[in-house]
Amino acid sequence: MPKVILAGRIIVPDSDLDSVIAALPTHINLSREEKGCLKFEVTQSAEDKNIFDVYEAFVDETAFQRHQERARDSAWGRISANAERHYEVREKP
């Protein structure tokens, strides 16, 4: 089965920035602990404090979908709900 890679960025509104920054370490740690997570990186842009670059890699589509469901139903999902998401998802052999 091919790996699933998600790459892109989120743009966080000023009104949510402090909450997103506070919640991000927990979200990253929980994501990295998920079965099937190969890599999970979220870094704040040095040029624009509202932009966070995202790179995720999962062993397969099942692991990726489990992550998506967990994140959507988590505190992170609620805190980051207003963020614009600009992602590309692809499979890699």
Predicted TM-score (pTM) of the model is: 0.94
Spatial distance between the Cα atoms of 26 and 28, rounded to a whole number of angstroms: 5
27-70 confidence digits (pLDDT tens): 999 999 999 999 999 999 999 999 999 999 999 999 999 999 99
Q: Residue ranges of the alpha helices (H) in 7-93?
A: 17-33, 61-72, 75-79
Torsion of CA 38, 42, 43, 47, to 10 degrees: 130
Spatial distance between the Cα atoms of 34 and 93, rounded to a whole number of angstroms: 21
Q: Would you say 36 and 60 are in contact if contact means Cβ atoms under 8 Å apart? A: yes
Q: CA angle at residue 76 from 10 to 44, to 5 degrees?
A: 35
